[in-house]
């Protein structure tokens, strides 16, 4: 939530900052703003409600010299405190318009700090929690022991703030310097040649450098064109807690590459997202994870598994339950991270908690991880973002190597998560001896064949897009599935809700007669995810009966079924065929038409597929 950037170097800061915001707009798009310090020591702030394009138009009209300069900060906002208006847009500045700040996160003690500042005569220009930070820095910079010392003024304020935040400050008196700090929200440093960047995401600076530094908890960094200094909140330089890394993807991965929108590109990238996630994880006949700080003995001691995640990642967790229980005979509970944390779950040293998160930043999931660690459980992360907080705090990590996902709706990372979850299941089965090595290898080899099959589904996807356009005016779409088809139904419904803003619900088909059947009426589109007639004939027969029941009540059935499935054909008003695979792997194929259905329907409605209203990619508030 919120993308922030700071730059010092030899390029025009305005261009660098706007380019960075363009690539981070997926993090929030309620408003955008920029503060530039020109070479004559003048701070210019421009901010606009709405999309980045509004800010760009405002800049086009602005006077040239003010925007010239080589130091700046920028922000793209997902509103938490204060409505998404011009006045609440970041950057915020002090009364003298000398110091500017951009912020991601929440300053929890803002009300108390605001009262203190107001009692001191400070007048606020916004309703945000952020503004207190800049007035406090200005006060320290003007009076007392830190007067005239920009860095020490910032450190003094950082020590007073509660909550989670990344803050980036610029100061008109120091045109060649930016000071940034983080607690529990991301802050990355891009190390260029004669230029430095700070940002929420490497996408902000990938055009200029792939050398990055991930800052540690409660660390600050001072950047100039020539270098950087990492400190704690007392300003004491530290060489622990942060790490350098090289970004292994380039600018093209963060651009549309000829696709109309990112989601379409990301759907098309799914074969490589799954293939890359598998690469290097089967070595000498054994499954290996990435950062394995848990031994086989630790895995053998596990007697219960919890999976915690949110949204789409939660749906991938529901799928993991089927595989892990089947392969390891361990009981698995899957919980929404936001519920898990607050209900006092029974955890101990022999519990394994698996946290799944694309961003590695989701506040609910992070808090669930922290709670599990406090209870001494072992925690394993499945994450797509190198350098993010959740993997840092876990005992073992498996990275999904799906590459950057810009579309707010998760697509390729969902498939990559399923693959990663299955690798974890196989690693557990291997360590615990519940599967022989040749059985583990057989499952792995089938998984390895999935990318090619996903590509086949994609090759034949156009009829699904056309079908979605036909249903563009529907007000409700229902999804049905059984076994692993049930989480797929939930995911299909979530995609449609978030992209097309229509009522969509996923049901376990067996539950139909216990209530949802009452929703069926003439012409209502119902998407049914069929199990394989070969690998699960019993479930298949039951679902055929369910289809007949809804068809008899007037539903329009859109059926996702295996290519050879002749029995279901007579009951499908529309049939979408997918290749035949083992039951557990079918979601990797059956999800794809549902993603395309949602994206195409939303597009037909004229909605912004990559940036659905009210949402943001990374949810860093609880």
Which range in 69-77, 351-359, 451-459, 541-549 contacts ligand M6R by CB under 6 A?
A: 351-359
Give the shortest CB-355-to-ligand M6R separation in angstroms.
9
Q: At what angle do helices 412-432 and 587-604 cross, to 10 degrees?
A: 160
Q: Is 358 in the site for ligand M6R (CB under 6 A)?
A: yes
Q: Is 359 in the site for ligand M6R (CB under 6 A)?
A: yes
Q: Which is nearer to ligand M6R, 4 or 429 (CB)?
A: 4
Q: Which of 231, 351, 362, 386 binds ligand M6R (CB under 6 A)?
A: 362
For residue 89, the surrounding DSSP H or E stretch is none
Q: Which is nearer to ligand M6R, 71 or 406 (CB)?
A: 406
Give the shortest CB-175-to-ligand M6R separation in angstroms.
36
Q: Catalytic annotation on 383?
A: no
* Residue facing ligand M6R at closest CB distance: 311
Give the shortest CB-546-to-ligand M6R separation in angstroms.
26
Which range in 49-57, 310-318, 426-434, 471-479 contacts ligand M6R by CB under 6 A?
A: 310-318
Q: Is 586 in the site for ligand M6R (CB under 6 A)?
A: no
Q: How far apart are the first and last CA of the chain?
A: 11
Q: Which residue has the tokens 């090759």?
A: 459
Q: Catalytic annotation on 71?
A: no
In order of 72, 213, 565, the CA distances from 27 in angstroms are 19, 20, 42
Q: Is 318 in the site for ligand M6R (CB under 6 A)?
A: no
Q: Among 2, 14, 383, 394, which one carries the catalytic annotation?
A: 2
Q: Which is nearer to ligand M6R, 106 or 568 (CB)?
A: 106
Q: Among 321, 412, 495, 617, which one carries the catalytic annotation?
A: 617
User: 46: which 2 tokens?
Assistant: 């421009």
For residue 370, the surrounding DSSP H or E stretch is helix 363-374
Query: Scanning residues 488 to 527, which ones bind ligand M6R (CB under 6 A)?
Result: 494, 498
Q: In what order do the strands lie in the sheet with 503-508?
A: 503-508, 476-481, 525-529, 556-562, 574-578
Q: Is 389 in the site for ligand M6R (CB under 6 A)?
A: no
- What number of other Cβ atoms are within 10 A of residue 310's Cβ? 21
Q: Which is nearer to ligand M6R, 170 or 409 (CB)?
A: 409
Which range in 99-107, 304-312, 344-352, 587-595 contacts ligand M6R by CB under 6 A?
A: 304-312
User: 118: which 2 tokens?
Assistant: 């107001």
Which range in 81-89, 253-261, 355-363, 523-531 contacts ligand M6R by CB under 6 A?
A: 355-363
Give the shortest CB-594-to-ligand M6R separation in angstroms.
12
d(CA 60, CA 125): 24
Q: Which of 16, 100, 420, 619 binds ligand M6R (CB under 6 A)?
A: 619
Q: Which is nearer to ligand M6R, 310 or 589 (CB)?
A: 310
The CA dihedral of 503, 508, 509, 513, to the nearest 10 degrees, is -80
Query: Scanning residues 406 to 465, which ones bind ligand M6R (CB under 6 A)?
Result: 408-410
Q: Is 365 in the site for ligand M6R (CB under 6 A)?
A: yes
For residue 150, the surrounding DSSP H or E stretch is helix 150-158
Give the shortest CB-496-to-ligand M6R separation in angstroms.
11
CB 74 within 8 A of CB 34: yes
Q: Is 432 exposed, middle or buried (0-12, 13-18, 19+ CB in 10 A)?
A: middle
Q: Which is nearer to ligand M6R, 72 or 360 (CB)?
A: 360
d(CA 27, CA 201): 9
Q: Which is nearer to ligand M6R, 199 or 359 (CB)?
A: 359
Q: Which is nearer to ligand M6R, 352 or 409 (CB)?
A: 409
Which range in 217-225, 298-306, 357-365, 428-436 contacts ligand M6R by CB under 6 A?
A: 357-365
Give the shortest CB-494-to-ligand M6R separation in angstroms.
6
Q: Is 156 in the site for ligand M6R (CB under 6 A)?
A: no
- What number of other Cβ atoms are within 10 A of residue 84's Cβ? 15
Query: Scanning residues 166 to 205, which ones bind ligand M6R (CB under 6 A)?
Result: none
Q: Which is nearer to ligand M6R, 498 or 565 (CB)?
A: 498
Number of residues that bind ligand M6R (CB under 6 A): 16
Q: Is 598 in the site for ligand M6R (CB under 6 A)?
A: no
Residue among 532, 535, 537, 541 at smallest CA distance from 509:
541
d(CA 42, CA 46): 13
Question: Which runs of consecutive H residues, i.e. helices, occur in 6-149?
Answer: 13-24, 52-61, 64-67, 110-119, 131-142
Q: Which residue has the tokens 């692993």?
A: 484
Q: Which of 171, 231, 276, 312 binds ligand M6R (CB under 6 A)?
A: 312
In order of 314, 424, 483, 514, 591, the CA distances from 322 in angstroms are 13, 13, 8, 23, 16
Q: Which is nearer to ligand M6R, 78 or 228 (CB)?
A: 78
Q: Is 357 in the site for ligand M6R (CB under 6 A)?
A: yes
Which range in 210-218, 326-334, 402-410, 437-445 contacts ligand M6R by CB under 6 A?
A: 402-410
Total residue count of the chain as it appears in this document? 622
Q: Is 280 left (phi over 0), alpha (psi -120 to 50) or beta?
A: left
Q: Is 313 in the site for ligand M6R (CB under 6 A)?
A: yes
User: 318: which 2 tokens?
Assistant: 């529901």
Question: Which runs of consecutive H residues, i.e. helices, occur in 232-309?
Answer: 262-268, 270-278, 296-301
Which range in 58-66, 154-162, 268-276, 354-362 contacts ligand M6R by CB under 6 A?
A: 354-362
Residue among 496, 515, 517, 518 at smallest CA distance from 505:
496
Catalytic residue list: 2, 617
Judged by the rule CB under 6 A, the positions of this chain that interact with ligand M6R are 310-313, 357-359, 362, 365, 408-410, 494, 498, 618-619
């Amino acid at each position: 939530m919120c993308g922030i950037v700071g730059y010092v170097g030899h390029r025009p800061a305005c261009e660098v900052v706007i380019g960075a915001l363009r690539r981070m707009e997926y993090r929030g798009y309620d408003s955008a703003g920029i503060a530039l310090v020109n070479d004559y020591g003048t701070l210019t702030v421009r901010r606009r409600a709405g999309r980045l394009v509004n800010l760009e138009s405002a800049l086009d009209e602005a006077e040239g010299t003010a925007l010239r300069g080589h130091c700046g900060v920028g922000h793209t906002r997902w509103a938490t405190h204060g409505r998404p208006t011009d006045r609440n847009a970041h950057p915020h500045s002090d009364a003298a318009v000398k110091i500017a700040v951009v912020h991601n996160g929440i300053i929890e003690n803002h009300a108390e700090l605001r009262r203190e500042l107001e009692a001191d005569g400070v007048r606020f220009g916004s309703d945000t929690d952020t503004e207190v930070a800049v007035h406090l820095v200005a006060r320290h910079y003007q009076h007392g022991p830190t007067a005239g010392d920009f860095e020490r003024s910032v450190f003094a304020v950082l020590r007073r703030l509660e909550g989670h935040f990344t803050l980036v400050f610029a100061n008109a008196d120091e045109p060649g310097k930016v000071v940034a700090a983080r607690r529990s929200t991301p802050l990355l440093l891009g190390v260029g040649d004669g230029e430095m960047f700070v940002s929420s995401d490497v996408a902000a600076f990938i055009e200029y450098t792939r050398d990055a530094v991930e800052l540690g908890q409660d660390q600050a960094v001072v950047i100039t064109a020539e270098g950087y200094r990492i400190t704690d909140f007392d300003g004491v330089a530290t060489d622990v807690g942060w790490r350098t890394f090289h970004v292994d993807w380039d600018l093209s991965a963060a651009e549309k590459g000829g696709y109309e929108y990112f989601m379409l590109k990301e759907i098309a990238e799914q074969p490589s997202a799954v293939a890359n996630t598998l690469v290097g994880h089967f070595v000498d006949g054994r499954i290996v994870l990435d950062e394995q700080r848990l031994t086989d003995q630790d895995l053998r001691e596990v007697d219960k598994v919890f999976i915690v995640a949110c949204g789409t990642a939660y749906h991938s967790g529901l799928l993991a339950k089927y595989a892990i229980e089947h392969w390891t005979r361990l009981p698995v509970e899957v919980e929404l991270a936001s519920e898990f944390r607050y209900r006092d779950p029974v955890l101990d040293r022999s519990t394994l908690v698996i946290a799944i998160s694309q961003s590695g930043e989701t506040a609910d999931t992070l808090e669930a991880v922290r709670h599990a660690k406090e209870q001494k459980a072992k925690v394993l992360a499945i994450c797509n973002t190198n350098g993010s907080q959740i993997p840092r705090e876990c005992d073992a990590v498996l990275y999904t190597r799906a590459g950057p996902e810009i579309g707010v709706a998760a697509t390729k990372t969902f498939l990559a998560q399923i693959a990663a979850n299955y690798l974890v299941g196989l690693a557990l089965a291997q360590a615990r001896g519940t599967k022989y090595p040749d059985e583990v290898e057989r499952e792995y080899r089938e998984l390895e064949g999935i990318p090619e099959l996903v590509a086949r589904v994609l090759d034949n996807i156009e009829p699904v897009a056309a079908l979605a356009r036909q249903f563009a005016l529907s007000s409700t779409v229902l999804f049905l599935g059984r076994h692993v088809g049930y989480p797929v139904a939930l995911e299909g419904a979530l995609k449609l809700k978030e992209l097309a803003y229509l009522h969509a619900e996923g049901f376990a088909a067996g539950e139909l007669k216990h209530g949802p059947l009452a929703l069926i009426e003439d012409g209502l589109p119902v998407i049914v995810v069929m199990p394989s007639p070969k690998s699960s004939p019993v479930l298949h027969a039951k679902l055929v009966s369910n289809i007949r029941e809804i068809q008899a009540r007037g539903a329009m059935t859109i059926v996702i079924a295996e290519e050879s499935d002749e029995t279901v054909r007579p009951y499908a008003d529309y049939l979408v065929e997918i290749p035949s695979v083992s039951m557990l792997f079918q979601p990797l194929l059956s999800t794809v038409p549902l993603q395309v259905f949602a994206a195409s329907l939303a597009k037909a409605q004229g909605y912004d597929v990559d940036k659905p209203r009210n949402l943001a990619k990374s949810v860093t508030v609880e």
